[in-house]
Amino acid sequence: MPLKQAITGAEAVAYAMKQINPDVVAAYPITPQTPVVEYFAKYVADGVVDTEMIPVESEHSAMSAVVGAAASGARAFTATASVGLALMHEVVFIAASLRLPIVMAVANRALSGPINIHCDHSDAMAERDSGWIQLWAENAQEAYDFTVMAYKIAEHKDVRLPVMVNFDGFIISHGVEVVETLDDELVKNFVGKQEKIYPLLDTSNPVTYGSIDMYDYYFEHKRQQIEAMKHVPRVFKEIAEEFAKISGRKYDLVDGYMLDDAEYVMVALGSTAGTIKHTINELRKEGKKVGLLKPWMFRPFSKEEYQRLLTGRKAVVVLDRSASFGAEAPLYQSVKSAIYEVASKPQMGSYVYGLGGRDITPHHIRQAFEDAFNGNLIVDEERYLGLRE
């Protein structure tokens, strides 16, 4: 029987990992990720998981340890946030390029400086070209569900890429919500056993990981990574289908809310989608045809979905919780370039909000929608919600 629990997003992720029972977890504490590993450490201490827990001296070491573990054929997990993820940066690329099916939970937090511990998406956006699959949760339920689904995606033979489960720091990681968790057995059977590919510990078939790759083969290996990413949307949809059968919750590359007849569509990642849905309900009462398109998956970025769903709309407003200094914000950039050649191009507007945990309210969302209603969007102008002039 599914169990309804009042838990934080951090506990939801840890609970999913308890059910998965990974071989190795290596992590270093950083706000707001710390409770994920605290909860998990308790499962280890209580003996309810068989996991080898490695307390490491930094995030660079944490990612290095899970890279080694995954190469040896173990199921490995880590979690981090913000500058911790930044410190991992070098090894984040190595995990993807060695094609290791690692899962990492990221409680999204602003990057320094000035130092700030609250939510924005600059940490994950700095890793968007690292070769990791990025899933983005709107709430604790989605964080739980994506964690359950993550290994199946990562370990799929056509994929073999690491998965980053993103959930907003504090808002999701520390906010208590009702999360419907699945039975342990159901999760265990769903995740299944890993099909090992070239495990280092198979000494009768010795392999070398991480040897130098020169100008004669490096390019070919990068091309393989590009190809693997192309398989991800299909594999994700298949696994989402399977997951729907055991959970009743249906995921896709993007989530649509009131999208079918929407003339004005907002695009946003993470927990803000909840606030947008609330605002859409209000605007709908006023007769406004508004909708939301929330990417569940940001990497790979499935252009076809955006082309199919956004062509013919009156306007598309993209909200970014991170800036790209001197260029367009990352989500806006991706959406705008995806719909470059759609038959009927919508007006487009870019809004940056919520940096360093600045609150975003229905008032701000309404303000952006109203700009769209009034035809007051300028495609090359970046605007800011909740910023003092």
Partner 1 sequence: MAELKGWKDIPIGGLVVEPGSAKKYQTGTWRVLRPVFQSENCINCMFCWLYCPDQSIVVELVDGKPKMKGFDYYSCKGCGLCANVCPKNIDPKTKQPAADEKKAIIMKPETDFVEE
Q: Are 132 and 162 in contact (CB under 8 A)?
A: yes
Query: Side-chain half-sphere of 285: how many Cα atoms within 13 Å?
Result: 5
Nearer to partner 1, 58 or 224 (CB): 224
d(CA 82, CA 204): 41
d(CA 350, CA 369): 11
Q: How far apart are the first and last CA of the chain?
A: 53
SS3 224: helix
Nearer to partner 1, 198 or 373 (CB): 198
Q: Report residue 85 CA to chain centroid gap.
A: 13
d(CA 66, CA 101): 10
Residue 233, both tokens: 């949307």
CB of 156 to partner 1, least distance (A): 13
CB of 158 to partner 1, least distance (A): 11
CB of 217 to partner 1, least distance (A): 7
Q: Which residues contact 305 (CB under 8 A, 6 or more apart)?
A: 233, 253, 254
CB of 210 to partner 1, least distance (A): 7
- Residues near partner 1 (CB under 8 A): 97-100, 160, 197-198, 205-211, 213, 216-218, 220-221, 223-224, 227-228
CB of 85 to partner 1, least distance (A): 22
d(CA 389, CA 384): 10
Q: Are strands 290-295 and 264-267 parallel, antiparallel or unpaired?
A: parallel
Nearer to partner 1, 99 or 128 (CB): 99
Nearer to partner 1, 217 or 363 (CB): 217
Nearer to partner 1, 65 or 159 (CB): 159
Nearer to partner 1, 72 or 307 (CB): 72
CB of 224 to partner 1, least distance (A): 5
Q: What are phi and psi of 165, to 5 degrees?
A: -100, 110
Q: Are 109 and 81 in contact (CB under 8 A)?
A: yes
Nearer to partner 1, 93 or 384 (CB): 93
Q: Are 80 and 71 in contact (CB under 8 A)?
A: no
CB of 140 to partner 1, least distance (A): 34
Nearer to partner 1, 48 or 197 (CB): 197
SS3 358: coil
Q: CA nearest 310: which of 337, 350, 283?
A: 337
CB of 371 to partner 1, least distance (A): 46
d(CA 370, CA 355): 22
CA angle 181, 185, 186 (to 5 degrees): 60
Nearer to partner 1, 205 or 374 (CB): 205
Q: Are 164 and 123 in contact (CB under 8 A)?
A: no
